[in-house]
Amino acid sequence: MEKYDRSDRYLKQLDDGQHEIALATKDLHVSYGEKEAIHGVSLDFERFKITALIGASGSGKSTYLRSLNRMNDNISGTKVTGQIMYRGLDVNSNQIDVYEMRKHIGMVFQQPNPFAKSIYDNITFAPKRHGEHHKKVLDEMVETTLKQAGLWDQVKDDLKQSALALSGGQQQRLCIARAIAMKPDILLLDEPASVLDPISTATLEDTLLQLKENYTIIIVTHNMQQAARVSDYTAFFHLGDALEYDETRKIFTRPKIKATEDYVSGHFG
Amino acid sequence: MKNDDIRASLMKRSRAAKNERFGKTLTGLCILIIITVVVSIFFFVASKGLATFFTNKVNLWKFLTGTIWNPGATDAQGNPQVGALPMIVGSFAVTFLAAIVATPFAIGAAVFMTEISPKIGRKVLQPVIELLVGIPSVVYGFIGLSVVVPFVRRTFGGSGFGILSGTFVLFVMILPTVTSMTIDALNSVPRNYREASLALGATRWQTIYKVVLRASTSGIITAIVFGMSRAFGEALAVQMVIGNAMLLPGNLISPASTLTSVLTMGMGNSVMGSLSNNALWSLALLLLIMPLIFNIIIRKIAKKGAIR
Amino acid sequence: MSPRKWDKVATTVLYMISVFIIAVLAFLLLYILISGLPHVTWHFITGRSSSFAAGGGIGIQLFNSLYLLILSMLISIPLSLGAGIYLSEYAPKNWLTDLIRNMIEILSSLPSVVVGLFGFLVFSINMKLGFSILSGALALTVFNLPLLTRKVEDSLQAVHYTQREAGYALGLSRWETVIHVVVPSALPGILTGMILGAGRVFGEAAALIYTAGQSSPPLDFTNWNPTYIASPLNPLRSAETLAVHIWKINSEGIIPDASAVSAGASAILILFVLLFNFAARYFGNKLYRHLTGARERG
């Protein structure tokens, strides 16, 4: 791999009063044991937009994403320093209740991971645990979220069926439905289409574009066409740093940084 | 929800956080109970077992090498007669003999199940082995008593009770354990070792003998030592066929005894705190220490295997 | 001999060894069942045992075995679940956790007679429970706990990490995620382990000789008040189990039909072991299919 000057970077600032910021990180560092994986990343994410995080494998884009709702807390030896600003609070602090925070910042993973429960229970399980017990509300929630995730028509007669019997693409859309049933502000998606076939991927992308109306979405993807198709902003990650952050259009047509240019034109990665 | 409400809820300890602390405390308590049990087993057995040496002033060396076990009486010098050598020898004899007999069978069955016919292995032998593990030791003892002992008596003479009968019973009892651990050892040999050997024109047996068994030696030894640990601690089945004579065994077909057999027979017939009772606890302490030693041996072997 | 011939010989020998092992099991089962089942009558299963004369039954012993089994499982199932969950989900990766794991492994490698003696010393004498069902149940718990805990931990670990992440990402605590997501997924393995553990407990004798005792006082099967002295449910009465009974009549050899009674009792014991074994397989598989939804897909 070519060596790039890492001080050569362009990060678009969105906190200019023109944009509403849903989430922002300030100098975020992540380390596993002795090894630092993210070297101080500061990015602002605009509300009701889709932001794509791209970069080669090992660039730290997934690690960064997983830090945003503190999923890395559960991996022993991981340390996250710096600020994650959400609604004026630094959620990367001990005063913040991490469980409450994750209700507002939801996540969908690379591997579809439905629970070994029925489709209905997959969606209603967490809301029930959080205290929602009215059957009518739950029924409505199942219908709305499955519709939003584009799965309703396929499963509406089979809600009691085990979720594990669904196809991979259906499982992933169920996971999205499950995540939005929590009515989060922000939805983090970690390469959600990497195990899906092209048709399922296309359906998923349509779903994301519709969800954008109500959710702020941050998506990690290794698929540059996907980033170009769905996202409004794109951040390019390289070896644990965000080197370029700009409107997607600009990133893919006129990147300002050599590394970004090489990556989006397929020279490495 | 309004922004301020959300901010407030984020700063407060949520239901889930309380729930988390509850779960962690509850399960931590369970672990604590188990730790307490382990520590107290060692504490209580050791405090009883060491009393023989500290309270009754029995010489440890004499205890381990003395050949006469008669705690009620004293010898010419006035020392209590608590020589545990007959039981120690008995225990080790049945353990080693059972392991020696069981090893070829265990390896043979394991090789058959992993290399020759995995299908028959999984469908037939695996359930057979699991069932053999499940048979209670008193049932083994009963069969030993009604089948093995008469067989030994007819074939080799004597009463039939003795180390030989004990060996036969223990052989069958540890066979399934050693076999299933050997299977794990063989399965951990990478597939490509076998393929490489077969590709070089070696026969299946040559591959098994020169490649698979060599590569899994440490795992197989671990399995055998584990089986020996089991055999050493087995009580009732052995006690029922060994004859329970506290004499240094002269041959394999004369009645003998093991640490476990003396304990099961004797503990009920002695008064707590008396020398004869303390001496029995010393035997129990030996039984407690031996699995530890077997354990250490297994770890040493495993480490060696890992380096290679 | 040529390598090819050696190969043939070795294969033949391996086949013979396998057949031998199957023959051993077949012999054991057939011997027990053929010599034992003819003695198994209704009177034998329900009748009182005899101390000196022939013709005794095993009714009380069978009841004791089942009662002890249930009592000890009631104690050890929650404990092993808790301990297994702690080790699998909460225990940090450090020397202390390694030490705890080692302690549990050592506990599982202790001879059952040592566990029995410990129970005798601590439960029967120090805690003044005497030779009683309760002492016996506690000793069996000590005997069974390490294996159950290990089985629970292994079954939980076999559930993929992504299942846990799914729960965490929905704002659920680890505890909720474990109880409602991970444990249900791990249930087939846990259940199999528990049933096999029950089988082990059912046949165990060495740990009971000095804890539950070797005698069975007359029971009054019309009074089920656990505080009544002759009540079958009284946890403080001594209770000889089926396995202990087999051992005792064979080592003491007082009753004239010891071998017939042992054969019958062994047959019952073996039938229960087989039952536990098949139950473990059946329920484990069934539950697994149910959970993974394989049933719905046909």
3-class SS letters over chain B: CCHHHHHHHHHCCCHHHHHHHHHHHHHHHHHHHHHHHHHHHHHHHHHHHHHHHHCCCCCHHHHHHCCCEEEEEECCCCCEEECCHHHHHHHHHHHHHHHHHHHHHHHHHHHHHHHHCHHHHHHHHHHHHHHHHHCCHHHHHHHHHHHHHHHHHHHHCCCCCCHHHHHHHHHHHHHHHHHHHHHHHHHCCCHHHHHHHHHCCCCHHHHHHHHHHHHCHHHHHHHHHHHHHHHHHCCHHHHHHHECCCCCCCCCCCCECCHHHHHHHHHHHCCCCCHHHHHHHHHHHHHHHHHHHHHHHHHHHHHHHHHC
Residue A19 falls within a domain, yes or no? yes
**Domain total of chain A:** 1
Residue C296 pLDDT exceeds 80:
no
Q: From residue C226, give the alpha-carbon distance in Å to each of A23, C213, C214, C221, C222.
A: 63, 18, 20, 11, 12
C-beta atoms of C171 and A77 within 8 A? no
Asked if C172 is an interface residue toward chain B (Cβ–Cβ < 8 A), one would say yes
Asked if C100 is an interface residue toward chain B (Cβ–Cβ < 8 A), one would say yes
**Domain total of chain C:** 1
Rounded to a whole number of angstroms, the distance between the first and last alpha carbons of chain C is 54
Q: Which residue of C has its CA nearest to B132?
A: C25
Residue A170 falls within a domain, yes or no? no
Residue C86 falls within a domain, yes or no? yes
Asked if B248 is an interface residue toward chain C (Cβ–Cβ < 8 A), one would say no
Query: In b/e form, how buried is each residue of B288-308, taking b as 16+ CB within 10 angstroms?
Result: bebbeebbebbeebeeebeee
Residue C19 falls within a domain, yes or no? no
Please list the ranges in chain A whose pLDDT falls under 50: none
Read off the pLDDT of residues C43-90 as tens digits, 9 standing for 90 and up.
Answer: 888 888 877 777 778 889 999 999 999 999 999 999 999 999 999 999
Q: What is the CATH number of the domain that holds C153?
A: 1.10.3720.10
pLDDT the model gives residue B251: 85
Residue C44: φ, ψ to 5°: -65, -45
C291 interaction partners in chain A (CB closer than 8 Å) = 116, 162, 164
A97 interaction partners in chain B (CB closer than 8 Å) = 9-14, 16-17
pLDDT the model gives residue C219: 81
pLDDT the model gives residue A30: 94
* Interface with B, mutate which of A70, A92, A99 (most B CBs under 10 A): A99
Asked if C30 is an interface residue toward chain B (Cβ–Cβ < 8 A), one would say no
Residue C261 falls within a domain, yes or no? yes
Q: What is the CATH number of the domain that holds A250?
A: 3.40.50.300
**Any idea what DSSP says for residue C90?**
I
pLDDT the model gives residue C134: 94
In this complex, the chains that touch C, judged by 3 or more CB pairs closer than 8 A, are A, B
pLDDT the model gives residue C31: 93
C-beta atoms of A99 and B6 within 8 A? no
B139 interaction partners in chain C (CB closer than 8 Å) = 28, 32, 203, 246, 266, 269-270
B130 interaction partners in chain C (CB closer than 8 Å) = 277
Full pLDDT tens readout for chain B, 308 residues: 578 888 888 888 888 999 999 999 999 999 999 999 999 999 999 999 999 898 888 888 888 888 888 877 777 777 788 889 999 999 999 999 999 999 999 999 999 999 888 888 888 898 889 888 889 999 999 999 999 999 999 999 888 999 999 999 999 999 999 999 999 999 999 989 999 999 998 888 999 988 999 999 999 999 999 999 999 999 999 999 998 888 888 888 889 999 999 998 888 888 888 888 899 999 999 999 988 898 888 888 877 766 44
pLDDT the model gives residue C292: 66
Asked if B2 is an interface residue toward chain A (Cβ–Cβ < 8 A), one would say no
pLDDT the model gives residue C298: 32
Q: Would you tell me which CATH number, out of the four given (3.40.50.720, 3.10.20.90, 2.120.10.30, 1.10.3720.10), belongs to the domain B85-307?
A: 1.10.3720.10
Nearest to B175 among C18, C21, C203 (CB): C21
Nearest to A116 among C165, C176, C184 (CB): C184
Residue located via tokens 């506690």: C138
Q: What domain range includes position A37?
A: 10-111+186-264
**Any idea what DSSP says for residue C48?**
P
Residue A49 falls within a domain, yes or no? yes
Domain boundaries, chain B: 1-55, 85-307
Give the angle B76-B79-B85 at the CA atoms, nearest 5°.
100
Asked if C23 is an interface residue toward chain B (Cβ–Cβ < 8 A), one would say no
Nearest to B12 among A87, A97, A104 (CB): A97
Mean pLDDT of C241-246: 93
B146 interaction partners in chain C (CB closer than 8 Å) = 35, 259, 262-263
Residue A247 falls within a domain, yes or no? yes
Asked if B11 is an interface residue toward chain A (Cβ–Cβ < 8 A), one would say yes
In this complex, the chains that touch B, judged by 3 or more CB pairs closer than 8 A, are A, C
Q: What domain range includes position C285?
A: 40-292
Q: How far is A261 from chain C (nearest CA, A)?
A: 34
C-beta atoms of B13 and A104 within 8 A? no
Nearest to A116 among C171, C172, C291 (CB): C291
Nearest to C14 among B111, B179, B265 (CB): B111
**Any idea what DSSP says for residue A13?**
-
Residue C32 falls within a domain, yes or no? no
Residue C230 falls within a domain, yes or no? yes
Read off the pLDDT of residues C160-212 as tens digits, 9 standing for 90 and up.
Answer: 999 999 999 999 999 999 999 999 999 989 998 999 899 999 999 999 999 99
C-beta atoms of C89 and B27 within 8 A? yes
Q: Which residue of C has its CA nearest to A102?
A: C171
pLDDT the model gives residue B306: 60
Residue C146 falls within a domain, yes or no? yes
Residue C24 falls within a domain, yes or no? no
Counted across chains A and C, CB pairs separated by less than 8 A come out at 83
ipTM for the complex shown: 0.91
Task: Mark which residues 37-76 of C lie under 8 Å from B by CB.
Answer: none
Task: Please give the residue that has the higher pLDDT: either C50 or C39.
Answer: C39
CA dihedral B124, B127, B133, B137 (to 10 degrees): -80
**Mean pLDDT of all residues in chain C?**
89
pLDDT the model gives residue B113: 92
A95 interaction partners in chain B (CB closer than 8 Å) = 11
CA B276, B278, B284, B289 torsion-angle sign = negative
